């Protein structure tokens, strides 16, 4: 708070909403437009995967056993459903942590009387939880990619490898960007605390994070479960 009322107004404007003629915050319009464009990006990647599905000449294959001569030796289906199911659960839980982080930021000024209130109202706790769960998902993906390479599937092996690594790699890059974004919010929270005035910034990060989650919901079904 400055001594000058005029300066106060400027400061409030600097941290306040950026309204458009629609009466809506332009940052929120921008993130929804961005998410819309990302829908089409992932649609193109998913389409490519589905078009090439079942058209690989050489193995390993996602759901089928690969027998000679397509493979030098008999190879099992390469997708590891239990591991991917676990990583899917981790990502879903990260979305829960994210909404709780946003709620904690919005309700920062409410009094917290009970331990439960303090836990639910801790934005640092939920941002950490989201970051750790996101990093956990990336660890699962790194494990999966490494095991695939050890089993002979690289991005150059066959059509499945090319389209699979491109699709899941793009998604992993988005998760990585999300974890970095959440890390910056966490740093701000430690530096000066995130309050209701910052809720729009957390909301925008949350929308991006949930979008990454819904994309994975589609990928998990279309790539991993449908044979």
Partner 1 sequence: MAHKDSAPHGAQGGHGAPGAHGNAGAHAPAAHDAHAHAHPTWKQYKWVALILTVITAVEVWIYYIPSFVASKLFVPSLLIMSAVKFAIVVMFYMHLKYDHRLFRALFTGPLIIAVVTIISLMFLFGHLAVRLGS
- Assess 203 for contact with partner 1 (CB under 8 A): yes
Near partner 1 by CB under 8 A: residue from 111, 150, 156, 191: 111
**Site string (155-184) toward partner 1, x via CB under 8 A:** ------------------------------
- Assess 211 for contact with partner 1 (CB under 8 A): yes
- Assess 89 for contact with partner 1 (CB under 8 A): yes
How far CA 50 is from CA of 19, 46, 144, 180, 224, in Å, comes to 41, 6, 20, 30, 12
DSSP character at residue 21: T
Q: Which of 224, 199, 197 is nearest to 62 (CA)?
A: 224
- Assess 50 for contact with partner 1 (CB under 8 A): yes
Nearer CB in complex with partner 1: 67/227: 227
Distance CA(22)–CA(144), nearest Å, equals 46
Cβ-contact 91, 137 below 8 angstroms: yes
**Site string (11-40) toward partner 1, x via CB under 8 A:** ----xxx-x--xxxx--xx--xx-xxx-xx
- Assess 149 for contact with partner 1 (CB under 8 A): no
State both tokens at 211. Answer: 């979008």
Token look-up 């909404």 returns: 99
Cβ of residue 180: shortest distance to partner 1, in angstroms? 20
State both tokens at 168. Answer: 């899941």
- Assess 99 for contact with partner 1 (CB under 8 A): yes
- Assess 132 for contact with partner 1 (CB under 8 A): no
């Amino acid at each position: 708070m400055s001594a000058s009322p005029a300066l106060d107004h400027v400061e409030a404007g600097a941290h306040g909403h950026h309204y458009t003629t629609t009466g809506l915050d332009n940052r929120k319009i921008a993130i929804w437009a961005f998410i819309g464009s990302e829908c089409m990006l992932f649609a193109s990647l998913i389409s490519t995967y589905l078009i090439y599905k079942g058209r690989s000449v050489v193995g390993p294959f996602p759901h089928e056993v690969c027998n000679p001569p397509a493979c030098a030796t008999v190879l099992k289906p390469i997708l590891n459903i239990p591991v991917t199911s676990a990583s899917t659960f981790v990502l879903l839980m990260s979305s829960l942590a994210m909404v709780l982080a946003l709620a904690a930021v919005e309700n920062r000024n409410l009094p917290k009387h009970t331990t439960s209130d303090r836990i639910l109202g801790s934005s640092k706790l939920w941002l950490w939880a989201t970051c750790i769960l996101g990093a956990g998902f990336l660890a699962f993906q790194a494990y999966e990619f490494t095991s695939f390479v050890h089993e002979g599937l690289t991005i150059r092996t066959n059509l499945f490898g090319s389209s699979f690594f491109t699709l899941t790699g793009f998604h992993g890059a988005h998760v990585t960007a999300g974890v970095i974004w959440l890390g910056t919010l966490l740093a701000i929270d430690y530096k000066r605390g995130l309050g209701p005035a910052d809720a729009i910034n957390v909301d925008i990060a949350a929308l991006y994070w949930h979008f990454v989650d819904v994309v994975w919901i589609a990928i998990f079904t279309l790539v991993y479960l449908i044979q």
